[in-house]
Amino acid sequence: MKRPIIGITGGYAKYDSYSKGVFAHHDYHHSVLACNGVPLILPIVDAETLKAQIDLCDGIIFSGGMDIDPFFYNEEPHQQLGELYPDRDEFEIEAIRYALAQKKPLLAICRGLQIFNVALGGTLFQDIPSQVENTFNHSQKPPRKRPTHWVYLEGESRLKQIFETDKVRVNSLHHQAIHHVADSLVVVGKASDGIIEAVEYPNHPFAVAVQWHPESMTKECALMKKLFQTFVNVSGQTI
Ligand code: MN
């Protein structure tokens, strides 16, 4: 049987003047490999080429990374806004719209969840600690794999089907979060302080977005491994 090809959107990183370019944390491709998928890192390209990239893939992971330029949801920059790379924002907004139109399975992670919401018309909190009252710490210290807070799953959802439980313990490496949810997305998980931690796009083979980093938990946590395995399996079914 053909192994599903899983595209992973790449960010930009600069290590020194000799080493700069596409970056994707290795936990993404390690988790895809652990589920028998074929990982492929996608560089930022123009709108036509990205369609060809997505056509090649059986499923797409929208990976974590820098903050999203608030220009894309019509806000001015907050004082605590982090580092930006607007070329990536533009690429991923187009990629999400195209992947949805093609019914391509997608798993959006951390920044991926945020850009998913922005691509469909939603907005973000640019900095949780200074913009939302009575929240707990969502920017944990390493190691990435360590779970630090609970997520409570709401309603009937793909995630609840996969996890077969009402709450999961997750890691948390974000200072931004969804503010206004895009009309076409459904909130399916929240933290106890009200921060949105999971959304889904209904009537699609698999379009799940999580605010935590399951790719860094698949070795230790059977539930996160099952999330990845289900995504890779659904991607395989569309081949
Ligand atoms: Mn969190």
State in Å: Cα 102 to ligand 1 middle.
30
Count CB atoms within 10 A of the CB of residue 83: 8
What's residue 230's pLDDT?
98
Two tokens, residue 95: 């990629």
**CA–CA–CA angle 192, 229, 58 (5° rounding):** 110
Percent of the chain beyond pLDDT 70? 99
Average pLDDT over residues 110-122: 98
**Active-site amino acid positions:** 110, 213, 215
19, exposed or middle or buried, with CB in 10 Å at 0-12, 13-18, 19+? exposed
- Ligand 1 centroid to 79 CA: how many Å? 21
Do residues 10 and 22 make contact, with C-beta atoms less than 8 angstroms apart?
yes
**Ligand 1 centroid – CA 128 distance (Å):** 10
Residue 51 alpha carbon to ligand 1 centre in Å: 32
Q: Is the pLDDT of residue 1 over 90?
A: no
Note the pLDDT tens digit of each residue in 186-208: 999 999 999 999 999 999 999 99
Gap from CA of 136 to ligand 1 centroid (Å): 9
Is residue 238 scored above 80 in pLDDT? Answer: no
Ligand 1 is an ion; its neighbours by CB within 5 Å are 138, 172
